[in-house]
């Protein structure tokens, strides 16, 4: 319900070629408390006046020289895109009322005027029109908030998972709170850690530290998007991404390898223009995993499985400025990459493992000093 004070502030336009009718209507409306009242005896001015002032209601006489009320309403349709004209027609001809309503008028007033009828029809039309305008405004706000919500949701998790969550919005809270969990036979997980970041953070302001992290992680995000990996999360100065989920792809290991190589290039580009040169250590492994969303609040798409632990160990047991991959990832590569066999290393929690350093791609057959990849 629209408050009476809002209705009385509505903008009104009286259009009648007879000055006496304009004066009468204006006095009636002002006596009822309406203050924003304009008038004209020239129907050709209506369209221009409405474009400038956007009246809430136009009291329009139908029988006028030069341009009758029907012609005025036709011209107003070019302004009101929804076809609903804010027009209360005034006529002494009963047969014109139905025609006016078909053209787009909201209602009609009969001549000679009945004071109670004039005030009642004006108030009712304004109440309905202002309520519709307020509803449209609220609807647009809802659309803006929904678009923002969708954008945030898609930024927080993969699009396929976000769409599944949105699809649950019409279900009960029990369905909404059910975990989303999917199993994958083959994925590749990448971990990257900024070497010496703890020491670096102690020597700069918090603002500089956050700015550096934001710069680097934004570069990594762009690389992940380019190669089709899903950024899983960041933990402090550690960056985690995965290939092969939630959309299964056969070249998941290749995608992760290309991303890792591009990340090394990104660090070099960063150092070339930064006063704070840094380095990264990257680890990659491939295998089965479970991914999804669990819990009831602060949803986060995450990944679980031995492949996650192994990829993390490949990073933590790696070397600054290099990419260490597991034997499983070496076997999962589909295309030629330059690999350097590091040998057998003792990995915490995993025991002895054969690992490899990933170098730049080669154009020819994949052969290195130690082995052939396939």
Question: Do 49 and 76 form a contact (C-beta atoms < 8 A)?
Answer: no
Tell whether the torsion through CA atoms of 93, 99, 100 and 105 is positive or negative.
positive
Peptide bond into 267 cis (omega under 30): no
Give dist(CA 189, CA 238) in Å, integer.
Answer: 13
Distance from C-alpha of 27 to C-alpha of 371, rounded to nearest angstrom: 99
Residues involved in catalysis: 193-194, 237
Query: CA-CA distance, 76 to 106, in Å (whole number)?
Result: 13
Distance CA 179, CA 166 (A): 14
Give the neighbor-by-neighbor strand order of the sheet with 11-15. 36-40, 11-15, 57-61, 87-91, 107-110
E strand or H helix that includes residue 75: helix 69-76
95: its two tokens: 């047969």
- Nearest CA to 182 out of 200, 166, 197, 161 is that of 161
Least Cα distance to 252 among 303, 196, 316, 320 occurs for 303
Tell the residue number behind the tokens 């083959």, with chain if given.
Answer: 186
Q: CA 41: distance to chain centroid?
A: 49
- Least Cα distance to 58 among 81, 79, 39, 75 occurs for 39
For residue 227, what are its two tokens? 């190669």
Contact 364, 327 (CB under 8 A): no
Q: Which two tokens stand for residue 219?
A: 């570069």
- Residue 113 per-residue DSSP state: P
Alpha-carbon span 193 to 324, nearest angstrom: 12
Do the beta carbons of residue 368 and residue 343 sit within 8 Å? no
């Amino acid at each position: 319900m629209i408050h009476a004070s809002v209705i009385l502030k509505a903008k009104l336009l009286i259009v009648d070629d007879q000055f006496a009718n304009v004066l009468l209507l204006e006095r009636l409306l002002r006596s009822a408390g309406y203050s924003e009242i304009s008038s004209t005896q020239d129907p050709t001015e209506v369209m221009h006046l409405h474009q400038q002032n956007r009246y809430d209601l136009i009291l329009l006489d139908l029988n006028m020289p030069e341009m009758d009320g029907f012609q005025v309403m036709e011209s107003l349709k070019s302004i009101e895109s929804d076809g609903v004209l804010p027009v209360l027609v005034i006529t002494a001809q009963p047969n014109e009322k139905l025609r006016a309503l078909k053209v787009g008028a909201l209602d009609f007033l009969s001549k000679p005027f009945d004071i109670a009828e004039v005030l009642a029809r004006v108030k009712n039309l304004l109440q309905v029109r202002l309520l519709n305008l307020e509803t449209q405004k609220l609807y647009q706000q809802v659309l803006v908030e929904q678009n923002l919500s969708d954008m945030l949701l898609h930024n927080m998790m993969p699009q396929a998972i976000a769409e599944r969550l949105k699809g649950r919005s019409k279900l009960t809270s029990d369905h909404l709170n059910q975990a989303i969990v999917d199993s994958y036979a083959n994925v590749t997980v990448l971990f990257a850690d900024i070497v010496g970041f703890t020491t670096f953070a102690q020597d700069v302001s918090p603002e500089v530290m956050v700015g550096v992290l934001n710069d680097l992680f934004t570069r990594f995000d762009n690389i992940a998007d380019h190669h089709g990996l899903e950024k899983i999360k960041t933990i402090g100065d550690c960056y985690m991404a995965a290939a092969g989920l939630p959309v299964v792809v056969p070249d998941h290991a290749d995608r992760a390898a290309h991303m890792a190589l591009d990340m090394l290039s990104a660090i070099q580009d960063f150092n070339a223009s930064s006063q704070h040169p840094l380095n990264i250590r990257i680890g990659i492994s491939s295998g089965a995993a479970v991914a999804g969303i669990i819990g009831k609040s602060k949803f986060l798409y995450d990944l679980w499985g031995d492949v996650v632990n192994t990829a993390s160990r490949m990073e933590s047991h790696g070397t600054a400025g290099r990419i260490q991959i597991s034997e499983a990832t070496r076997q999962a590569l589909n295309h030629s990459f330059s690999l350097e066999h590091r040998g057998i290393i003792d990995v915490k929690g995993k025991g002895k493992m054969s690992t490899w350093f990933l170098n730049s791609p080669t154009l020819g057959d994949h052969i290195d000093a130690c082995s052939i990849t396939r």
